[in-house]
Amino acid sequence: MAIFKGAGVAIITPFTEDNQVNYEELGKIIDNQIENGTDAIIICGTTGESATLSHDEHDACIRFAIQHTAGRVPVIAGTGSNSTAEAIRLSVHAEEAGADALLLVTPYYNKATQNGLISHYTEIAGKVSIPIIMYNVPSRTGVNIEPETAVYLAKHVKNIVGIKEASGNISQVAKLAALADGCLDIYSGNDDQIVPLLALGGIGVISVLSNVAPRMTHDMVMSYLEGDVEKSRRLQLDAIDLCNALFCEVNPIPVKAAMKLQGWNAGGLRSPLSEITPAHLELLKNSMEKAGIL
């Protein structure tokens, strides 16, 4: 059984004026997401600035999201690391805190071989019992999970059940889907490729777009899964300019700016991320207006 079908939000981490985690605002954002159809909360992912959260903050954000969501939708904890030992520590903590599943990015910077990836994921999976979604985003990590590797892990490690595919390579996803033949749940990791991945057998998205357009993102996926392909296609095309604008600078710079335009107290960005440029802010604003979310 899938952890979730539909749209999971890769939720931001809002900060206070003194750059601390703003848990009050995070709770409001979670509530708004659930009220607008979001099917899962993904906490402490790339969009949540996990790379600049301290270990204590990372643990605390996961605990908070689980407690505040209170079972309304699944909570998937981002617990990946470039260190297998640290990924195990984060994953064990998340399971003990009550996470429904884990999202494990490939170990960045180390550039593991495919054998290294198999060892890394197998070792982590052996220390927890909850389901694991692998996260393939080679543009950020420098490592690609080859389709054969992903399928090997799904077939040999019982709690590795899904993959967030953000390679951007549709041909690779097609090969993955063909090799997997249903043994691995595929989620889009790119908002501009939601419908193409669904057409290849995907069951949802782990989304940046959902932060600012939760209902649209949910409906885009569920319309397809319920057979209304035309509505899903139309929503995908209506959102394309916004999807592109949300990546006009490195994520999560644009999405935090977009949420502030919507009135959310998203706060600033932790260094080395910088505030969005005026030109890109105008581009973002125009795309939000065109999509009807501002």
Residues assigned a catalytic role:
135, 164
Contact 179, 158 (CB under 8 A): no
Which residues lie below 8 Å from residue 122, measured CB to CB, with a gap of 6+? Answer: 153, 156, 157
What the block records as the tokens of 128 is 């927890």
C-alpha atoms less than 13 angstroms from C-alpha of 118 in its C-beta half-sphere: 14
Contact 79, 120 (CB under 8 A): no
What are the angstrom distances between the C-alpha of 275 and each of 190, 203, 254, 283, 288? 22, 34, 8, 14, 18
226 burial (CB, 10 Å; 0-12 / 13-18 / 19+) is exposed
Residue 56 sits at φ, ψ, to 5 deg, of -65, -40
- In one-letter notation, the amino acid at residue 154 is A
